[in-house]
């Protein structure tokens, strides 16, 4: 009887904790450009535009986040646009001047269609120099250019999804993503099947404990 009660109460607590945990809302990542911000290797002056080629704009990106240093001054007004290889603007957005240096998030027009290849361009207002965190690359087609001049770095960019989402809301996306980057036989089924197996496991362990401990 004691074991039965303990199992019932603890399992109920776990279910409650899981529901609570899954219900927490926060901004969620759409993707990154797979670069770590190991240093400030991209720079530009106010009034200039820095463009980073070979970028992917995920279909679920509604904000662009970069790490900006301004030597202590407020971040100037920033305008962001994503252009495809034909030069068409697929999405754009801006923020006013005044943000503190650090992670700066710029909202972009959303929805903007399917995931697309192109270049991400950032234009800074004001006159002061600003630096953007990223990594060093060999000057060439993958490097940033500022007003047409090739730089030796690439920005580390994080794309965020719209608004805040709970894990419940993100479940379909998680299911899709868990099928990516793995052996071919994995797919969108991976997460639901794993969850079902885990549920079966909990039931089996519960029965085993009742059998062995009572």
- Read off φ and ψ for residue 177, nearest 5 degrees: -65, -30
Site residues for another protein, 49-68, by CB under 8 A, read 56, 58-60
Least separation in angstroms between residue 7's CB and another protein is 5
178 interacts with another protein by CB under 8 A: yes
- x/- string (CB under 8 A) for another protein, residues 107-146? --------x-x-----------------------------
CA angle 164, 84, 92 (to 5 degrees): 40
Q: Which is nearer to another protein, 32 or 48 (by Cβ)?
A: 32
CB 159 within 8 A of CB 64: yes
Residue 152 interacting with another protein (CB under 8 A): no
Please give the Cα distance from 67 to 103 (Å, whole number): 4
CA atoms of 120 and 81, how far apart (whole Å): 6
DSSP string covering 159-209: EE-SS-B-HHHHHHHHHHHHTTTS-TT--TTHHHHHHHHHHHHHHHHHHHH
* Nearest distance in Å: CB 116, another protein: 8
Give the H/E segment covering residue 84.
none
Q: Which residues bind another protein (CB under 8 A)?
A: 2-3, 5-7, 10-11, 14, 17-18, 21-22, 28-32, 34-36, 56, 58-60, 115, 117, 158, 167, 170, 174, 177-178, 180-186, 190-191, 193-194, 197-198, 201-202, 204-205, 208-209, 211-214
């Amino acid at each position: 009887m004691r074991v039965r009660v303990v199992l019932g109460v603890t399992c109920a607590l776990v279910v409650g904790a899981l529901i609570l945990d899954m219900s927490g809302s926060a901004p969620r990542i759409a993707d990154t450009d797979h670069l770590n911000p190991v240093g400030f290797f991209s720079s530009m002056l106010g009034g200039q535009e820095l463009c980073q080629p070979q970028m992917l704009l995920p279909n679920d990106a509604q904000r662009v986040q970069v790490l900006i240093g301004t030597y202590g001054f407020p971040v100037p007004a920033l305008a962001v646009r994503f252009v495809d290889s034909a030069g068409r603007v697929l999405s754009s957005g801006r923020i006013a001047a005044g943000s503190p240096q650090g992670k700066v998030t710029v909202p972009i027009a959303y929805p903007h269609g399917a995931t697309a290849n192109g270049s991400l361009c950032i234009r800074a207002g004001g006159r002061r120099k600003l630096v953007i965190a990223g990594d060093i690359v060999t000057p060439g087609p993958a490097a940033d250019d500022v007003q047409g001049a090739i730089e030796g770095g690439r920005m580390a960019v994080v794309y965020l999804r719209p608004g805040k989402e709970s894990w419940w809301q993100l479940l379909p996306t998680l299911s899709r993503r868990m099928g990516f980057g793995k052996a071919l036989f994995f797919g969108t089924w991976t997460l639901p099947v794993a969850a079902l197996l885990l549920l079966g496991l909990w039931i089996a362990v519960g029965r085993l404990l009742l059998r062995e401990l009572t």
